[in-house]
């Protein structure tokens, strides 16, 4: 479980262990229903995170002005998404063997509930998967959140327009490959309204942005026999916002309002051998190919309120976004106008 906590802190995502997969996949088609409800807060949090942090000002750069921004953003999981209700009628093979039908999501706590997977002939019982809520580091300032770090570069173009690129360098470990790339366009809208354009401390702009993130987990020594096993996650997130900014030189305050949305696909691929009747004989093993394909989506309106401290070319900023998964972003930028 400590390994899972490390994954979620670094990438905002956790994989169930392959030992747990053997038990969950015993539920056949029901495995996807159960896993989707369990992982839903992590997927939602990631998509909301990828639409945060695109700006800390409503003012765009002059031509060839630029900034380099380092920031982290964290989405807070609502209390109601820390658990889900197991509804028996939604499942064909899976049922509650004992304990509560209120089960934890990945953001929840531990549970004593036991599940049973049965095809009418063979059956297997296993503990419902615990959430990570009680394993979170005690000194982490938001108890249950999905953090995501990023680097972003902005460049001023003609017509008071900025192009922004954000990235997390592609990282490869023994088993994990992760990468992130996003592009945004911020355009000054004040220039089209003479009344606003004549107020030097007020800036209004529009933003459109898109981010793509990919994570692939390929186990070197899988606990479940099989071949070509991997878990792949692909996230698309996009946002459209209008930004207002009051620039008081040393400090500026900004307000953003707009639309945020995203989609995520999560696939368990390859061949997996499972002893579903739990008697330990290989003759009864069953091979499942590409056992799980899950899709997640978010959409809705957001409002962001933030402030930036201007220390010459160095900018320190923080903001709070009000949305389904409210979030906090903190960052530091080096900016040359």
Task: Using pLDDT thresholds of 50, 70 and 90, give the confidence band for residue 16.
Answer: low
Q: What is the mean pLDDT of the chain?
A: 84
Task: Using pLDDT thresholds of 50, 70 and 90, give the confidence band for residue 28.
Answer: confident
User: How much is the pLDDT for 285?
Assistant: 65
Task: Using pLDDT thresholds of 50, 70 and 90, give the confidence band for residue 15.
Answer: very low
Please compute the mean of the pLDDT values over residues 188-217 and round it to a whole number: 91
Domain ranges of the chain: 2-336
Q: What does the pLDDT look like over 241-264, one tens digit per residue?
A: 999 999 998 999 999 999 999 999
pLDDT at 198 over 70: yes
The CA-based dihedral angle spanning residues 281, 226, 216, 32, taken in that order and rounded to the nearest 10 degrees: -50
pLDDT at 134 over 70: no
Task: Using pLDDT thresholds of 50, 70 and 90, give the confidence band for residue 190.
Answer: very high
Residue 231 belongs to what H/E stretch? strand 226-247
What distance in Å separates the CA atoms of residue 299 and residue 246, rounded to the nearest whole number?
28
What distance in Å separates the CA atoms of residue 71 and residue 92, rounded to the nearest whole number?
45
What distance in Å separates the CA atoms of residue 28 and residue 253, rounded to the nearest whole number?
53
Q: Is the dihedral of CA 57, 59, 62, 63 positive or negative?
A: positive
Q: Which residues contact 291 (CB under 8 A, 6 or more apart)?
A: 25, 31, 268, 272
pLDDT at 151 over 80: yes
Please compute the mean of the pLDDT values over residues 68-86 and round it to a whole number: 92
Task: Using pLDDT thresholds of 50, 70 and 90, give the confidence band for residue 173.
Answer: confident
Please compute the mean of the pLDDT values over residues 143-147 and round it to a whole number: 55
Q: Do the Cβ atoms of 73 and 329 come closer than 8 Å?
A: yes
What distance in Å separates the CA atoms of residue 148 and residue 219, rounded to the nearest whole number?
23
Task: Using pLDDT thresholds of 50, 70 and 90, give the confidence band for residue 119.
Answer: confident
Please compute the mean of the pLDDT values over residues 184-209 and round it to a whole number: 93
Please compute the mean of the pLDDT values over residues 99-124 and round it to a whole number: 86
User: How much is the pLDDT for 65?
Assistant: 95
Q: Is the dihedral of CA 90, 95, 100, 104 positive or negative?
A: negative
Please compute the mean of the pLDDT values over residues 137-159 and round it to a whole number: 70
Residue 146 belongs to what H/E stretch? strand 145-157
The DSSP secondary-structure symbol of 267 reads: E
pLDDT at 135 over 50: yes
Range of weakest confidence among 146-160, 167-181, 312-326:
167-181
Q: What does the pLDDT look like over 287-302, one tens digit per residue?
A: 888 888 999 999 999 9
Please give the residue that has the higher pLDDT: either 313 or 174.
Answer: 313
At residue 46, the 3 state secondary structure works out as helix
Task: Using pLDDT thresholds of 50, 70 and 90, give the confidence band for residue 187.
Answer: very high
pLDDT at 281 over 60: no
pLDDT at 164 over 70: yes
User: How much is the pLDDT for 323?
Assistant: 95
User: How much is the pLDDT for 199?
Assistant: 87
∠ CA 252-53-148, nearest 5°, is 140
pLDDT at 223 over 80: no
Range of weakest confidence among 104-118, 125-139, 271-285, 298-312:
271-285
User: How much is the pLDDT for 153?
Assistant: 96
Which phi and psi (to 5°) does residue 274 adopt?
A: -130, 140
pLDDT at 336 over 60: yes
């Amino acid at each position: 479980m400590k390994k899972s906590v490390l994954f979620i802190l670094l990438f905002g995502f956790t994989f169930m262990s392959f030992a747990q997969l053997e038990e969950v996949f015993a539920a056949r088609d029901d495995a996807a229903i159960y896993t989707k409800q369990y992982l839903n807060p992590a997927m939602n949090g990631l998509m909301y995170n990828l639409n945060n942090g695109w700006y800390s000002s409503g003012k765009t750069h002059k031509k060839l002005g630029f900034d380099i921004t380092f920031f982290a953003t964290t989405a807070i999981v609502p209390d109601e998404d820390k658990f889900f209700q197991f509804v028996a009628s939604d499942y064909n093979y899976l049922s509650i063997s004992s304990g509560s039908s209120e089960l934890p999501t990945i953001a929840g706590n531990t549970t004593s509930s036991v599940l049973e997977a049965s095809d009418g002939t063979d059956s297997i019982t296993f503990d419902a998967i615990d959430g990570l809520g009680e394993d979170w580091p005690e000194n982490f300032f938001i108890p249950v959140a999905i953090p995501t770090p990023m680097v972003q570069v902005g460049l001023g173009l003609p017509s008071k327009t900025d192009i922004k690129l954000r990235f997390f360098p592609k990282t490869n470990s023994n088993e994990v490959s992760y990468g992130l790339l996003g592009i945004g366009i911020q355009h000054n809208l004040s220039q089209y309204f003479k009344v606003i354009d004549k107020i030097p401390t007020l800036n209004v702009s529009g933003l459109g942005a898109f981010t793509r993130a990919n994570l692939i987990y390929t186990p070197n020594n899988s606990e479940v026999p099989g071949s070509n096993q991997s878990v792949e996650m692909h996230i698309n997130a996009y946002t459209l916002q209008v930004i207002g900014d009051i620039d008081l030189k040393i400090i500026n305050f900004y307000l953003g309002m707009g639309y945020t949305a995203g989609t995520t696909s999560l696939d368990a691929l390859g061949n997996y051998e499972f002893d579903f009747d739990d008697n330990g004989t290989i003759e009864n093993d069953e091979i499942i190919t590409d056992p799980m394909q899950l899709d997640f989506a978010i959409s809705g309106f957001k409002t962001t309120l933030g402030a930036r401290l201007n220390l010459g070319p160095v900018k320190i900023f923080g903001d709070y976004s009000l949305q389904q998964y409210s979030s906090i972003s903190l960052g530091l930028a080096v900016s040359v106008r």
